[in-house]
Structure 1
Amino acid sequence: MQRYQWNAEDYRQNSSAQQQWAQQLIAKLNLTGTEAVLDVGCGDGKVTAEIASYLTHGQVVGIDNSEAMIALANREYPTNRYANLLFQQMDARELEFSDRFDVVFSNAVLHWIDDHMQVITGMHQSLKPGGRMLLQMGAHNGMPKFMAALEQVLALPQWRDYFAGFSCPYGFKSVEDYQRWLPAVGFVIKRLELIEKHALHADAEAFKGWIRTTWLPYTGRVPQAKRIQLIEAIATQYLASSPADANGRVSVLMVRLEVEAEK
């Protein structure tokens, strides 16, 4: 997985959809308060801190491969105020734990990684016997309208040279993929589900903020001076086929893959 130069503060201000979905996913954990939890891809730490609030006698460790994200998380949630919360910089493909956690949790992260087998092998190793994992990520063919608009823009003469030989770097996987992989690693499948969600952005500017902060593999291909222009072009193309609603809100349909399994 390539290390992108995340702007952690910018992400924090443009990730409300991710946080809302994480809250819905946390509710499905039915935590008792005593668990040891691993949050894989913790980002700026706000979701990990929410998990910590449920763990009156437990602990959560958040890992992320972004130095900027971990630095922000440590500033916002210091251990002297959050005794049951710890952040570590670590690659999800190289988890360094063994039989340590009751629960592994991950929200809106694993589609950033192509080789999921490495990740779920490490998750299995990290869990205690009988431990469980709950993951949610972007699914295969999960954003058809947005991806169509994106590809139309990249094919335009002013952009196409920057994307010569480029292919989508995201690891959007299917139910069938996980049906094969989980038993091979040693997991018992509890549930594999495709869930439709609408990422709702308050207005066109918020929508552009989402493109700016989460589509780094694409914006990073063009010179810094042209990135705002590219983001404007993508937003305009998308809104031409999927206009904002009467309140100015921009909706992006996303199909999510939800994975529940047990060691």
Structure 2
Amino acid sequence: MESPASSIQTDSWSPSNYSYHARFVSTIPQDLISLLSPKPHERILDIGCGDGVLTFQIQQMCKECIGIDKSPRMVEAAQVIGCKDVRVVDGERLKEWVISEEFEETFDAVFSNAALHWIKNQESVVEGIRTCLKPGGRLVIEMGGKGNVQVIEKSMITALDKRGYDGASLSPWFFPSQETYTALLTKASFQISSINIFPRPTYLPTNLRGWIDTFGHPFIQNLDDKEKEDVINEVIEMCKPEVYNEKDGSWMIMYVRLRVIAHLV
């Protein structure tokens, strides 16, 4: 049987791009770790650990923190910065992984930042989280919410549709409303302590091309080089009126975040 780790497909993530173009992903939500409030005796699972910047911090505060990510390259980058236990695991197959590992004990908490919206099958990942947690265990997550990077997503879809592709089907993201995610968690026996959706206008450290290179690859990874370049240029032009400031040359994207704290009943 294929393992949750062996099912990982071609890895298009670039740790160097992530660090250079998108370090804000791990530096802005530092208060999320405060909300997690790791305890010295706890076992914590970090889903979508990326290059491990937040995982490393959590590992210093608790008994054990395992970071998992679908990208082997990002897991390798997390190991380079000193993360003790990070593994290549497909979050959509989280339940299978937990069962296959035969852990002696489940986790006190599950943490995730800016990762769960990359998983289309949310029922699967929520069921996996439920399997991971002890009774009363907590879930502390932040992910993209309804309306997140909306201008870019719509522009990517439009540019691809124009060329005969089904742009919407190529979008890798799931950006739920507060109501949708509340229903999803409640159905899986979670009691929600707080759930908030809020805008987070974010200035890019570089530019929109760098952002697309870092996060937009699922839309265009199967295009040839010329078509890929044409799509990127067209998307930049479509987005410019809303995300580019000609006065100072800055690029600002409207992020919308969904933040949840819940406990397993």
- Please report the TM-score for the alignment, with normalisation by the length of structure 2: 0.84
Cα distance in 2 between the residues matched to 1:22 and 1:37: 18
Give the corresponding residue for 1:90: 89
Q: How far apart in 1 are the matches of 2:167 and 2:260?
A: 35
Going from structure 1 to structure 2, the CA distance change for 1:33 and 1:229 (only over 3 Å counts) comes to farther
Q: Deviations over 1:194-215 (max 9, x none)?
A: 02112211343xx211111111
Q: Residues 195 and 154 of structure 1: is their aligned pair in 2 closer, same or farther, counting only changes over 3 Å? A: same
> Please, which of 183, 187, 198 is the counterpart of residue 184 of structure 1?
187
Instruction: Deviation per CA, 1:22-41: give whole Å up to 9, x if none.
Output: 42321222233432211101
What are the residue-to-residue correspondences of 1:218-257 with 2, within 5 Å? Answer: 218-244=219-245, 246-257=247-258
2:211 aligns to what?
210
Instruction: Report the Cα distance in structure 2 between the residues aligned to 1:47 and 1:177, rounded to whole angstroms.
Output: 27
What displacement does 1:130 show?
Answer: 1.8
After TM superposition, the structure 1 stretch with the greater mean CA deviation from structure 2, 142-151 or 65-74, is: 142-151
Which whole-Å CA distance do the structure 2 matches of 1:146 and 1:6 have between them?
Answer: 19
On the 8 A contact 1:162/1:222 being kept in 2, the answer is no
1:49–1:203 distance in 2 versus 1, CA, 3 Å: same
State the one-letter code of the partner of 2:146.
H
Matching residue within 102, 109, 118 for 2:108: 102
Amino acid at match of 2:151: K
Q: CA contact under 8 A between 1:162 and 1:221: conserved in structure 2?
A: no
Identify the residue that residue 23 of structure 1 maps to in structure 2.
Answer: 30
2:84 matched to 1:75? Answer: no
Per the alignment, do residues 48 and 35 of structure 1 end up closer, same or farther by CA in structure 2, a change over 3 Å counting? same
2:11 maps to 1:10: no
The answer for the alignment partner of 1:35 in structure 2 is 42
Q: 1:22-71: per-residue Cα shift (whole Å, max 9, x none)?
A: 42321222233432211101111122112223x1x522110011122222
List aligned pairs for 1:51-200, cutoff 5 A. Answer: 51-53=58-60, 55=61, 57-77=62-82, 85-95=84-94, 96-97=97-98, 99-156=105-162, 160-163=163-166, 166-200=169-203
* 188-197 or 174-183: bigger deviation: 174-183
- Shift in Å at residue 87 of structure 1? 0.5
Once the two structures are aligned, what percentage of the paired residues are identical?
Answer: 27
Partner secondary structure for residue 199 of structure 1: strand
The CA distance in 1 between the partners of 2:158 and 2:181, in whole Å, is 31
* TM-score normalized by the length of structure 1: 0.84
Amino acid at match of 2:120: D
Moved more, 249-258 or 15-24: 15-24
Aligned 8 A contact 1:202 1:248 in 2: no
SS in 2 for 1:161: coil
- Which deviates more, 114-123 or 134-143? 134-143
> Is the deviation greater in 127-136 or in 237-246?
237-246
What secondary structure does 2:256 align onto?
strand
Secondary structure of 2:253's match? Answer: strand
Q: Is the CA contact (8 Å cut-off) linking 2:8 and 2:70 kept in structure 1?
A: no
Q: Which moved more, 1:116-125 or 1:90-99?
A: 90-99
Segments of structure 1 that go 5 or more residues without pairing to the other structure are none
Aligned-residue offset at 1:20: 2.0
- Where does structure 2 lack aligned partners over 5 or more consecutive residues? 1-6
How many residue pairs match? The answer is 250
Q: Is the 8 A contact 2:172 2:219 kept in 1?
A: no
Task: Show CA shifts across 1:51-110 (max 9, x none).
Answer: 223x1x522110011122222222332xxxx5xx31111111222336421111111111
Quick check: 119-128 or 230-239, which moved more? 230-239
Task: Write the distance in 2 (CA, Å) between the matches of 1:102 and 1:165.
Answer: 37
Give the Å deviation of 1:186. Answer: 1.7
Residue 204 of structure 2 corresponds to: 201
Paired AA for residue 106 in structure 1: S
Q: Which amino acid aligns with 1:67?
A: P
